[in-house]
Amino acid sequence: MIISDRMYALGSARSVIRELFEYGNMRAAQVGRQNIYDYSLGNPAVPSPGSVNETIKDILDSQPSIAVHGYTSAQGDAGVRQAIADDLNKRFGTAFGRDDFYMTCGAAASLAICLGALVTPECDEVIAIAPFFPEYGVFAGNAGAKLVVVPADTTAFQIDFKALEAAIGPKTRAVIINSPNNPSGAVYSEETIMKLALLLARKSAETGHAIVLISDEPYREIVYDGLEVPFVTKYYKNTLVCYSYSKSISLPGERIGYVLVPQEVEDHDRVYAAVCGAGRSLGYVCAPSLMQKVVGRVTGQTSDIDEYRKNRDLLYGGLKEIGYECVKPQGAFYLFLKILGDDTEAFCERAKALDLLVVNGTGFGCPGYVRLAYCVDYDMIERSLPVFRKLYDSYK
């Protein structure tokens, strides 16, 4: 049977993260769940706010089935888009309108759509800044783009601007950022965003075409210690925002999010049309209708972020006390741990032998580190700390 080699490769290559997760389930069956310390999956552990299920029931009880489950317009229900605009405008002092939003089936769809809309054969390089979500490479590939990786600034997981500047060339179409960051937990400071905006404006002028900043921000609301996440569109006009409700209100399976094309974007209407066209081409058109209506009513709310904050404090404090090195996570629910020794794979394997499941940072473009997803039970973190100590001691 003739099939696409690229699609076969994508479908048969087991995800390292998922493989670890399944290994964890197998081990749990062997030795008991309480003896497995699974930091592999970024699946929210804190339930959705109660308003989500209440809203679903209220919509089912108050609207006819045909209206609830029927097609919305291709770009999403107009009232829902207006509600999202209103919420952002209130929270961030922006002035978005409903016609700046295109509702999508989550962040993966948002990214695939933006890249589809922007990439051309002549201008086909997309920059990711390490550490980055590995699927960026897949979505870039689908759009016919080449992913150019800028090495990580491992001092604070902000941006190595010298390396970024060197990576930008005449074929650079877009730069993807992800703050709060998966996997580092870092949040780009306002200074970082301002420097980035200046650099992209200068490089846009030099290359003679606008370089687009794609802000992938499903973790926007998951930050700690009262930190404010700069709203990127206010700093750089050619910004497209890819948002998902997967993390902020714990709906990862529901596939609901949006692309935001602010009015300030050069040729706004043409870019928005291209976003609509890419959605159509990829088979998206009308994001899931009930969930559209739900997020229209709960947008801006969050799950109980303080649960993740407690987890962070326990895990970060415990690891530092043992002697590990890592940058304190300011957002998302990941901690990016510096390995011991100099072999990342060997470190992961030694951890795994202790039933401590951590993800190799190499896939995120950052060898020498491992990712710990701490969206888990607090108790598991407590139980895991002596095991982290054992691992540490084994390197002495």
Question: Per CB under 8 A, which of residues 327..356 are in contact with its own copies?
Answer: none
Q: Whole-number minimum distance, CB 316 to its own copies, in Å?
A: 24
d(C-alpha 126, C-alpha 226), whole Å: 33
Query: 182, 332 in Cβ contact below 8 A?
Result: yes
Query: 34, 28 in Cβ contact below 8 A?
Result: no
- Quick check: 45 binds its own copies (CB under 8 A)? yes
- Quick check: 142 binds its own copies (CB under 8 A)? yes
Query: Cα separations (Å) of 104 from 203, 261, 286, 295, 365?
Result: 30, 13, 7, 12, 27
Q: Whole-number minimum distance, CB 234 to its own copies, in Å?
A: 19
**Cβ distance to its own copies smaller for residue 212 or 381:** 212
- Quick check: 60 binds its own copies (CB under 8 A)? yes
Contact with its own copies (CB under 8 A): which of 25, 34, 35, 53? 53
User: How would you class 265 by CB atoms within 10 Å of its CB: exposed for 0-12, middle for 13-18, buried for 19 or more?
Assistant: buried
- Quick check: 244 binds its own copies (CB under 8 A)? no
- Quick check: 47 binds its own copies (CB under 8 A)? yes
Of 220, 225, 228, 274, nearest to 247 by C-alpha is: 220
31 token code pair: 């030795």
- Quick check: 1 binds its own copies (CB under 8 A)? yes
Give the binding range for its own copies (CB under 8 A) out of 181-189, 214-222, 226-234, 277-285: 277-285
- Quick check: 30 binds its own copies (CB under 8 A)? no
**Cβ distance to its own copies smaller for residue 34 or 120:** 120
Contact with its own copies (CB under 8 A): which of 131, 180, 288, 329? 288
Q: Whole-number minimum distance, CB 360 to its own copies, in Å?
A: 20
Give CA angle at 373 (367, 379), nearest 5°. 135
26 token code pair: 């197998």
**Cβ distance to its own copies smaller for residue 242 or 340:** 242
Radius of gyration of the chain (CA): 21
Q: Whole-number minimum distance, CB 189 to its own copies, in Å?
A: 28
Q: How many CA atoms lie within 13 Å of 173's alpha carbon, on the beta-carbon side?
A: 19
- Quick check: 299 binds its own copies (CB under 8 A)? no
Q: Whole-number minimum distance, CB 143 to its own copies, in Å?
A: 8
- Quick check: 10 binds its own copies (CB under 8 A)? yes
- Quick check: 64 binds its own copies (CB under 8 A)? yes
Query: Cα separations (Å) of 227 from 109, 186, 187, 222, 317?
Result: 28, 11, 9, 10, 19
**Cβ distance to its own copies smaller for residue 58 or 86:** 58
DSSP state of 303: S
Binding map of its own copies across residues 84-123, x = CB under 8 A, - = no contact:
---------------------xx-xxxxxx--xxxxx-xx
Query: Cα separations (Å) of 67 from 63, 81, 90?
Result: 7, 17, 28
Query: 124, 263 in Cβ contact below 8 A?
Result: no
Give the binding range for its own copies (CB under 8 A) out of 42-50, 217-225, 319-327, 339-347: 42-50
Query: 310, 157 in Cβ contact below 8 A?
Result: no
Contact with its own copies (CB under 8 A): which of 79, 141, 151, 318? 141
- Quick check: 51 binds its own copies (CB under 8 A)? no
Q: Which of residues 155-184 bind its own copies (CB under 8 A)?
A: 173
Of 243, 247, 294, nearest to 105 by C-alpha is: 243
**One-letter amino acid for residue 165 of the chain:** E
- Quick check: 65 binds its own copies (CB under 8 A)? yes
